[in-house]
Chain A
């Protein structure tokens, strides 16, 4: 094997990789923010006293969790225009990732909801809070705190999945890496650096999340 490492070609385009990383993070943040709303709604629906709501939430979760994200992305970008809804590549990717993360977050929040002690809810009801008030100011904060570690893990997962945006030519990290790879043929260097950037970003996010968990002690 005559291949000697030359990282210079990759460092020359390092700013592109960094901007790609920023785009990936941005996509993940927006998608998980929307996904959190979807997940909260669907988690409350999944423990609701109405059968129809519970089945709807279960259908959403099993439908989306069992589909490859790439299929959702391609549907949103290429197939949706056929119905008259045209989204650009960023919107369609964020939409698909939000829908996808919402299904995973439903499970996360559901586990959080179940972990809220019954006595706390009874106490809130007995001091005269309505059902809605109880949910908003008592159940939701405890549930969010208990769900924080899994929420963080889901966010890291979705950040990694933002790489799939490369399939519809969103210029994020994987897309830029593939371009450098094809332009320079510095194959080993390119993928080592790209993978290193992903790992570094994941480690930093994980550390920030651990810090957040320490600031808000568990209920």
Chain B
């Protein structure tokens, strides 16, 4: 145990950097994913079929492909297309595209669950479509979409661990580097696991608390 604590102390900065990068990657991905998912969700719910089609295709492709394949594709493809993305940027791109599809789909579910009378009432008092979205539909959809949205955050924290495979120095890769030096395999993997658990359980509890509050109305 004393040896482990010594090694942990030596590795503290590396682990902290990795932990921070994991959180930053997940935060950036949920931010971009939410912006993208907002557009996708609205298009899937209200666009005419020809406009809906490309969004449907995007969502189905993202949901049918493993996250790891998305990450590897985002890592290798941009370079031949003449874009130079670093591994971290490629990873955030892949996770954002993945999150955008999931958030788009759950927003569509929430929008369609709103009773049609709400939209009719909004229209009949003369709201334009953007006004209807902003003041009537989105606030109601946000309420039911919030708990699964926080869950997407948990998925992104977990998904960010896959970026270790394209050489992004997030928590898991840093852990592997430390293990490569001191061979304390169990101890450091378990320690990394505890850090992931800590972030995710906080998010999970937050989701449950929000769900309880939302459920009261």
B127 to chain A, nearest CB (A): 37
Question: In the complex the two chains form, is A198's CB within 8 Å of B66's CB?
Answer: yes
- Total residues of chain B contacting the partner, CB 8 A: 40
How many angstroms from the CA of A166 to the CA of B165 in the assembled complex? 10
How many angstroms from the CA of A78 to the CA of B72 in the assembled complex? 23
The interface residues of chain A lying within 8 Å CB-to-CB of B77 are: 187-188, 191
Question: In the complex the two chains form, is B189's CB within 8 Å of A78's CB?
Answer: yes
Question: In the complex the two chains form, is A67's CB within 8 Å of B193's CB?
Answer: yes
**Cβ contacts A185-210/B at 8 Å (1 or 0 each):** 10110010011001100110000000
Asked whether any CB of chain A lies closer than 8 Å to the CB of B60, the reply is yes
Q: Which of A3-30 contact B (CB under 8 A)?
A: 3
* Given contact pairs A66-B196, A166-B68, A195-B64, a sample of 6 additional A-B residue pairs in the complex whose CB atoms are under 8 Å apart: A63-B197, A164-B68, A167-B165, A181-B76, A188-B81, A198-B66
Question: In the complex the two chains form, is B154's CB within 8 Å of A66's CB?
Answer: yes
How many angstroms from the CA of A173 to the CA of B6 in the assembled complex? 41
The interface residues of chain B lying within 8 Å CB-to-CB of A163 are: 66-69
Asked whether any CB of chain A lies closer than 8 Å to the CB of B192, the reply is yes
Asked whether any CB of chain A lies closer than 8 Å to the CB of B141, the reply is no
**Smallest CB-CB A-B distances: 8 pairs:** A66-B200, A199-B64, A163-B66, A68-B161, A191-B73, A68-B158, A160-B66, A79-B186
**8 pairs of residues in contact across A and B, judged by CB atoms under 8 Å:** A3-B80, A66-B154, A67-B197, A75-B190, A78-B179, A185-B80, A199-B64, A199-B65
A interface, by DSSP: helix, strand, loop or mixed?
helix
B90 to chain A, nearest CB (A): 12
**Cβ contacts A120-137/B at 8 Å (1 or 0 each):** 000000000000000000
The interface residues of chain A lying within 8 Å CB-to-CB of B60 are: 199
The interface residues of chain A lying within 8 Å CB-to-CB of B10 are: none
Chain A residue, CB-CB nearest to B205: A62
Chain A, interface residues (CB within 8 Å), range: 35 or more
Question: In the complex the two chains form, is A71's CB within 8 Å of B69's CB?
Answer: no
**Cβ contacts B81-93/A at 8 Å (1 or 0 each):** 1100000000000
B206 to chain A, nearest CB (A): 13
A150 to chain B, nearest CB (A): 14
Asked whether any CB of chain B lies closer than 8 Å to the CB of A31, the reply is no
Asked whether any CB of chain A lies closer than 8 Å to the CB of B128, the reply is no
The interface residues of chain B lying within 8 Å CB-to-CB of A82 are: 185-186
How many angstroms from the CA of A82 to the CA of B80 in the assembled complex? 42
Q: Contacts A66-B204, A71-B161: A83 and B80 contacting too (C-beta < 8 A)?
A: no
How many angstroms from the CA of A66 to the CA of B194 in the assembled complex? 10
**Cβ contacts B12-23/A at 8 Å (1 or 0 each):** 000000000000
Question: In the complex the two chains form, is A194's CB within 8 Å of B197's CB?
Answer: no
**Cβ contacts A79-118/B at 8 Å (1 or 0 each):** 1001100000000000000000000000000000000000
Chain A residue, CB-CB nearest to B63: A202
Asked whether any CB of chain B lies closer than 8 Å to the CB of A213, the reply is no
Question: In the complex the two chains form, is A199's CB within 8 Å of B66's CB?
Answer: no
Chain B residue, CB-CB nearest to A24: B66
B185 to chain A, nearest CB (A): 4
Asked whether any CB of chain A lies closer than 8 Å to the CB of B61, the reply is yes
Q: Contacts A1-B81, A1-B82, A75-B186: A70 and B164 contacting too (C-beta < 8 A)?
A: yes
Question: In the complex the two chains form, is A79's CB within 8 Å of B64's CB?
Answer: no
